[in-house]
Structure 1
Amino acid sequence: MFFVIRVAFWLSVAILFIPSDPQTGEAPRVGLVNAFLAAKATVADFSGFCDRNPDACVTGGAAVDLFASKAENGVRMLYRYLDDPQAEKGTLNEDDVALPWQGPENGPA
């Protein structure tokens, strides 16, 4: 659950640096104090979420665990792929690429 909150925080920080669209008009002004109070209220609401919805909290935790397990497995697969030596090029010999002759006398009847 902490991972999701952390990702949401960093995505929010990244979104803050995106300029607003000049075609839609002037962006609304939000004071620093108002933003801080809103963030404080949001954190307080998140801290009580598991108390209000324990089943949703357990399910969310299981989903995060599954996601983390899949991410770890994906990184492990990528590491193995990058760590394995590549096969040498041109490993086929003449017998592998030679096709048997099928002239008119050896062809299908």
Structure 2
Amino acid sequence: MFFLLRMAFWLGLVLVLLPREKTPESEKLPQVGASEAVSAATAAVSDMTQFCKRQPAACEVGGQAATVIGRRAQEGARKLYQIITDKRAPDHTGSIGSVDNTDAAPRDTLTQDDLQVEWRGAP
């Protein structure tokens, strides 16, 4: 649960710090300095750390929910991986017949007559 809160905080911080275009509407917004933003973020984080002391039941249920969601995410990722690996394209194009690798030893198809060297005399 606390991981999700931290992730949301950092993602929000990144989104806030992205450069923006100057528009007439943005000039009307209140201007907040970096030091003010840091002190407000620090206060928010310290308040979040005290949340489980104030609401232990909510933290317990949230932890159980995070565990269930984590397991479902793992199962979903595992199933997606199986779908991808089972349905992937074959390694060959099919224009050449498939190779049967069950017999790894090379087969000798030459007979003894084929192996006899023909005598070539002087012309």
Pairwise TM-score range, normalised by the shorter structure: 0.5 to 0.7
Q: Rg bigger for which structure?
A: 2
Distance of 2:65 and 2:59 partners within structure 1: 10
Calculate the aligned-residue CA RMSD, in Å.
2.3
Which consecutive aligned stretches of 4+ in structure 1 deviate over 2 angstroms post-superposition?
Answer: 18-25, 85-88
The residue that corresponds to 2:23 in the other structure is 22
TM-score (normalised: structure 2): 0.61
Distance of 1:64 and 1:20 partners within structure 2: 38
Distance of 1:83 and 1:59 partners within structure 2: 36
Offset, 1:11: 2.1
Gaps of 5+ in 2: 91-123
SS of 1:28's partner is: coil
* Residues 1:35 and 1:74: Cα distance change in structure 2 (over 3 Å): same
Indicate the larger mover: 13-22 or 48-57.
Answer: 13-22
The residue that corresponds to 1:12 in the other structure is 12
SS of 2:68's partner is: helix
Deviations 1:19-62 (A, max 9, x none): 36835342431111111110111111001100000000111111
Gaps of 5+ in 1: 89-109
TM-score (normalised: structure 1): 0.67
* Residues 1:71 and 1:30: Cα distance change in structure 2 (over 3 Å): same
Aligned residues: 88
Distance of 1:18 and 1:71 partners within structure 2: 33
Question: Percent identity among equivalent residues?
Answer: 39
